[in-house]
Amino acid sequence: MLTTVEAAHNVEVDVISDNGFDNIDDNGQRLRTENDSETGDTDDYSIPEQAGDCEGDFDQDGNEEIGPSSADVTKGSVLSLVFALFVRHRLTKGCLGDLLQLLNIIVPNCVPKTNYFFEKLFFPDTVVKQHFYCPDCQSYLGEPEPSSLHSCTICQIEFEEESLLKSRSFFFLAPLRINYGQFLRMTAEFGIKFLPINKNLFFNKVSSGGKSTGDLYKTPEIRQFLFSGENFTMAAATDGIRPFKASKLEIWPIFCTINELDFNHKSRHVLLSSLWCGPKKPKVETYFIPFLHEVENLFINGLNWTLNGTNRLSKVIFPLVIADAPARAMLSNAMQFNAFYGCGYCLHKGETVEKGSGMVRVFPLSHPIPDKRTHETTFQQAVEATHQRKQCRASRGRPYFFLFLFLM
């Protein structure tokens, strides 16, 4: 058997000769030599299945067996370290598989042997669904079908799923009912926080720094809902970003959190519900259709989870959606903040004034004070804009969210 040093020396001499490039062809590929195997390429290396297959003639210290480690290392800590290494250095799936094999050679059965079982440990029941939309008008087409055909009722065109995949005309949805149900089943400590006694303490906090201090959260309707069993509320947040300044893609995620959790727990358990990635911002009635159906299902049917061996049923409402000014205008189907009647708090029309070489919209103090915006007035203006097919006090039509009144 060649020693490790001799084997490495042979490989080096075989590839690099006097001028360093004698065994390289015009295309940059290594030429075969008499030392190469007749059946395979010497560059095709693989990790052996057993430790005895890769022994070399090291000195006496190098060939000693690895004894039990004195460090307090558990299987869970090894899995966490491997996963951290995989994320930190952006390892490929092939590299991850070789790493798992290497660790199993050193300590048999210390980690899963394949990528599939390794991923199942961290993401046991995570379900992500694909939803298609029309590449021309962005109308919602639905989930994958057995026939692989989708018809756009606006464009009167049929699309095959293969063409929709090639044009990237799809987005992803992680069902809240499945993923948050799994989260509650796995973590019993969060179930305790939904009990009425703790909810009462949560409501009576003077300055909790969370959403419980808001007037909407303290309304009798939400109080009654929360104290009817083990129900809880959630918040959704969305915004659009570009990966970098010159990017032609826009990314629109939808994140969800449980309001009744304290800040430390809430920040560690944010669920990515939906993800849109496309050349322009999504159509609200397309992107939010599956999400709002999930919200409706949580409100009507609730989700099942287990606490101390007892089955529990919790229903969920979304009292608010968090968004910045441009995203809020898009979600409410209204003009942006720099348009006439663009103020989101009152019905001030605004004025246009010069600033530098351009014009800006300002809202100076006026008498009488403009009326405040309310849900009723906003809804009525949306109805008028829909019927008249023109803008009404910054409203461009009825928002899709108004069809789901339990969100309000």
Q: Is residue 394 in some structural domain?
A: yes
What pLDDT is attached to residue 207? Answer: 43
What pLDDT is attached to residue 186? Answer: 57
* Torsion angles phi and psi, residue 239, rounded to 5: -170, 155
74: its two tokens: 């558990």
Domains held by the chain: number: 3
Q: Is residue 346 in some structural domain?
A: yes
Cβ-based neighbours of 32, under 8 Å, separated by 6 or more: none
Contact present, 236 and 321 (Cβ < 8 Å): yes
Q: Do 229 and 284 belong together in one domain?
A: yes
Q: Do 299 and 338 belong together in one domain?
A: no
The DSSP call for residue 210 is S
Q: Is residue 317 in some structural domain?
A: yes
Q: Do 188 and 237 belong together in one domain?
A: yes
Could you say which of 277, 292, 321 is where a domain stops? 321
Closest listed residue to residue 372, CA positions, set 328, 341, 340, 331: 341
Q: Is residue 32 in some structural domain?
A: yes
Q: Is residue 295 in some structural domain?
A: yes
The span from the CA of 63 to the CA of 267, in Å, is 49
pLDDT mean by block of 10 residues, the chain; 408 residues: 41 39 47 48 54 55 54 78 84 89 88 84 72 91 86 90 89 81 59 49 51 67 80 88 83 88 75 88 88 88 78 84 86 83 85 87 87 85 84 78 53
Q: Is residue 67 in some structural domain?
A: no
The b-or-e profile of 323-350 (16+ CB within 10 A means b, else e) is: beeebbbbbbbbbebeeebbbeeebbeb
Q: Do 174 and 236 belong together in one domain?
A: yes
183: its two tokens: 């989260």
Q: Is residue 64 in some structural domain?
A: no
Q: Do 355 and 258 belong together in one domain?
A: no
Closest listed residue to residue 271, CA positions, set 119, 170, 123: 123
- The residue with tokens 């808001």 is 214
What pLDDT is attached to residue 66? Answer: 57
Q: Do 170 and 256 belong together in one domain?
A: yes
Contact present, 341 and 359 (Cβ < 8 Å): no
Could you say which of 303, 321, 339 is where a domain stops? 321
Q: Do 279 and 362 belong together in one domain?
A: no
What pLDDT is attached to residue 81? Answer: 87
What pLDDT is attached to residue 21? Answer: 40
What pLDDT is attached to residue 204? Answer: 58
Q: Is residue 115 in some structural domain?
A: yes
Could you say which of 104, 122, 140 is where a domain stops? 122
The span from the CA of 209 to the CA of 198, in Å, is 17
Q: Do 260 and 280 belong together in one domain?
A: yes
The span from the CA of 233 to the CA of 222, in Å, is 9
The span from the CA of 138 to the CA of 128, in Å, is 21
Q: Do 270 and 389 belong together in one domain?
A: no
Q: Do 153 and 87 belong together in one domain?
A: no
Q: Do 176 and 279 belong together in one domain?
A: yes
- The residue with tokens 């022994």 is 55
> Domain containing 338: what range?
328-407
Q: Do 309 and 350 belong together in one domain?
A: no
Q: What pTM value is reported for the model?
A: 0.65
